[in-house]
Structure 1
C-alpha cells in the first residue's frame, strides 16, 4: 500500500479518490476489452511497456475469459497465444516477437536488437485481438509508450529508445525494496470493506517467497554484481520471516559482500511473544531485525561501504520510536554520522539507499507525513546533497511505486522510488554503471508464479493500484544520465562474480 501503513483519515481520503474515478470509455476499469457475446471468448488486457533500454524493450499483458469475474474484479485467467508485431514505421510492423511462455494468461515479451535513439511502433495481440493499454483515469500518464501515438485508438503504440550510457560498462547493481516476507494479504487498507485483502491462490507458495525467489534469479541472470534492499525486508519483523529473507537473499551472494539491507518501518522493533528472544530495542520492544542483519554488540543499523570505488551509504530511516505509520526519521546520532559521511570525500561517486524517500510528489493518492522522512531532516539532508558533486542517486522504497524526482535544491541527485518487490508490478531496478554515465531500468520479476501473482495483486484498491504503482511515464522506471564515473573499477567476472552483464 502507499506508504505501507495508513491512518483512518488517509483511508477516507483514498475512498473518495477511488469513488471519483471516471469510468473508462470502451474499457472497464482494469483495462479489459469490451465484453463479447461468447463466454468462452478470450480478451487481452493491461498492456504495459515495462522496461526500455537502448537495445531492448519488455512488454507485458494479461488474457482472460471475456465477461467473467474471478472475485477480484478481473477476468478469470485464460491461457492464450501472444505476439508483438513491431517495426520502425506504423504501417510496416514486419518483425514478430513471442513471449517467455507459449500459452499463458501472463504474457511477457522482450524485443531485442533495437538501435539506440530510434523510434519504434508495436502492436501486441492475443487470439488475433489487439491488446488495450492499462488505462490511467486518476492520473495523467501513459503505460505503453514514450509518446501519445496510437492512444486515440487500438494502436500501434510508439517508443523511442534512449542512448546507452557512455563509456565502458563497469558493473551492475540491483536496487529493490519492500519484500514484506511473512505477509499473507496484500492491499489491506485499515479494514475498509471495499478494499479487500488479496491472498495467494490456495496451494501455491507464499507470494513474498515467490517474488523474492524470482527477483534473485532474474537479477542474477541479468548480470547483476551487487544488490541493495532498501527496507521492509519483513512484514512485521518476525524472526522466522527475517531468517527466510536472509536465506533467500543469500542465493544472490554473501551478505555485506554482494548484498546489503537497510531497515524499513515494518522491520522496527516490536512487542510481544514472537519477539521475546530478540535483543531489547533501542526505542521500544525487541529488535529482531538488528539481531538478524546487524548482530554485533553495539553495531549501528546504518553503514557505508565502498564497492569498486563506488561509495554506498545505507541509512536506517526508522531509527526512532513509533508504530510504523508515522514519518520516518534518523536518530540524532545517525543524522550526525550521515552528515559527516556526506561532507567527506564529496567528489567520490556515491549513492544513498534507505526506506523512506526524502521527497514524495505527484501521487494519485493523498500525500501525508507518513509517506516520507521527517520534513525537517529531509530539508537538512537535501541542503547537504546540494554541496556533494559525487552523489548522484538516492534510492528509496516505502511508497511501493516507480517515481523519478529531481529536487531543484540538489539537481545533480536523482531521487528514485522503486516499486515493491512483493506485489504488482513486482520487481526491481538495475543500475548499470559505465565510466561516463549510468542507466536505471525497472524489470518485473518474470517466473511464471511471479507473473501470476503480480497480475492478481494489480487488483488492489479496486483495480486502481496500477495507476499508482507502475509509474505515470516510462521515464519514471527507465532513465539514462551522463556522469563522470571514471574513478570506478570494473568487477572482474572471473572471480566470485561469474555473471556477465547483459548490456555490456
Structure 2
C-alpha cells in the first residue's frame, strides 16, 4: 500500500495494480484509508481559474530501461508488443485529456536519439490529442544529437498565470545552460507581467551548498543556475521553476529566493510513471503528481521498480511533499 497523491479534495493510494481513489474530501483534513493516514492539502486561496498539465522524459524510441551508459540490468518488453514508451505515453495522454486542460507542457526528452521517426511518433500522439494546446521544448536526448525541435523560448498565457518554457539544452552535451539572451528576456517578462510567472525547463537547477560546483554538473551549469536564482530573487512575481531530466520527484529551495520552489517531476516512461496536474487559483498554484494508472501501465511501472537493484523507488518517487504541494502566487 502506497500513498501516492494528495490534493485539497482527494487522496490516491496504490496497492500494486489496484488503485484506491478517495474523492470529495475536505481540505486540510487527516483521514485514514486502507490502513494509511493521509492529510489533504489546504484549501487554495481564491477561485479555480483553470487547469493545465505537464509531462517530461517521454523517450519515444527507447527499448531498454534501467541502463546507464549501457551498464546495469535492463528492463524491456517482448518483441512484437507495444513499446513501453508508446504504452505509457498513450495512457498518460488519455488521463491528461480527461482533465480537458488549458495547456499541456512537455518538458523535454521527447525521444531517445532525436530521430525524425521518434519526433514524429511524439508529435502524432500528443498533437492529435491536444492540438494547439500542446507546447514543448527539447531535452538533452535531442540536443546531444544536435536536433532542434520545439521552441527555445515560449510564452503560455493562462488565466491568472504566465508560464514560460525555456530550452535549457546544449548542443552536444547532456547537461544544460541558459544564455544571456534567455535570462534577459525572462527578466523583461517578469518586469512587464501583471500576473505571477512560472518557468519550465528540461534541466534541473544547481543549488549552492548542496551540489558540487563543476562544469560536469548534470543539470543547468552553476553560473547559469546562480543567474536564474538571482533573477527569481530580484523579480518577486516569479514563483517557481519546474524541470524534468532527473527522472525523480523533488522540490528544493535556495535562501536567496526564499520559498520559491525548484521542482523536478519524475519520468512518464517507467516507475512511477508520472505526469503532473496544476490547478491555478487566485493566489495559489497546486501541483498534484499523478501516476499513470491503467492496468497495463501499472504492470510495467511495478516491474521497473526493480531498476538499479531495487533502489530506484527510493530515488524516483520522492517524498509526498515533493510530489503534491501548493505554491503561493502572491509576490513576496
TM over 0.5: yes
**2:312 is matched with which residue?**
465
Q: Which residue of 2 aligns with 1:237?
A: 114
- Partner residue in 2 for 1:85: none
1:308-328 Cα distance to aligned partner (Å, 9 max, x none): 35222111111x33242xx31
Shift, 1:188, TM fit: 0.4
Alignment of 1:9-24 (within 5 A): none
Equivalent residue of 2:217, what SS? helix
Shift in Å at residue 204 of structure 1?
A: 2.6
**What's 2:137 paired with?**
262
- How far 1:447 sits from its partner (Å)? 1.8
Q: CA-to-partner distance for each residue in 1:476-501, whole Å, 9 max, x for gaps?
A: 1010244349xxxxxxxxxxxxxxxx
Return 309-318 or 421-430, whichever deviates more.
309-318
Task: Show the counterpart of 1:502.
Answer: none
**CA distances 1:286-306 after superposition (whole Å, capped 9, x unpaired):** x3x43xx35xxxxxx222232
Richer in helix (by share):
2
Pick closer, same or farther for the CA change 1:249–1:196 going to 2, 3 Å. Answer: same
Q: Is the 8 A contact 1:165 1:482 kept in 2?
A: no
Contact (CA 8 Å) 2:3, 2:36: kept in 1 or not?
A: no
Matched, 1:330 2:181: no
TM-score of the superposed pair, with normalisation by structure 1 = 0.61
Q: Is the 8 A contact 1:353 1:394 kept in 2?
A: yes
Residues 252/351 of structure 1: CA separation in 2 closer, same or farther (3 Å cut): farther
Classify the secondary structure of the residue corresponding to 1:446.
coil
Q: 1:157 Cα deviation (Å)?
A: 2.7
Q: Which has the larger radius of gyration?
A: 1
CA contact 1:234–1:267 (8 Å) conserved in 2: yes
Shift of 1:112: 2.0
- Contact 1:164/1:480 (CA < 8 Å) preserved in 2? no
Query: 1:392, CA displacement in angstroms?
Result: 1.2
The structure with more strand, counted as a fraction of residues: 2
Q: 1:349, CA displacement in angstroms?
A: 1.3
| Offset of residue 61 of structure 1 | 2.3
Contact 1:164 1:439 in 2 (8 A): no
SS at match of 2:128: coil
Contact 1:346 1:388 in 2 (8 A): no
**1:337-356 paired onto structure 2 within 5 Å:** 337-342=185-190, 344-345=191-192, 347-356=194-203
User: Partners of 1:190 and 1:321 in 2: how far apart?
Assistant: 19
CA displacement at 1:190 relative to structure 2: 2.3
Give me the whole-angstrom Cα distance separating, in 2, the residues matched to 1:252 and 1:450. Answer: 19
Structure 2 stretches lacking a partner, 5+ long: none
* Whole-Å separation in 2 of the counterparts to 1:115 and 1:450: 30
Q: Who is 2:157 aligned against?
A: 306
Alpha-carbon distance in 2 for matches of 1:49, 1:204: 31
Change (3 A) 1:221 1:375: same
- Structure 1, unaligned stretches of length 5 or more? 1-46, 63-105, 124-155, 271-284, 295-300, 486-504
> What is aligned with 1:177?
56
Aligned twin of 1:440: 287
Contact 1:232 1:264 in 2 (8 A): yes
Q: How many residues are treated as equivalent by the alignment? A: 330
Alignment partners' CA distance in 2, 1:330 and 1:466 = 31
Q: Distance in 2 between matches of 1:362 and 1:174?
A: 32
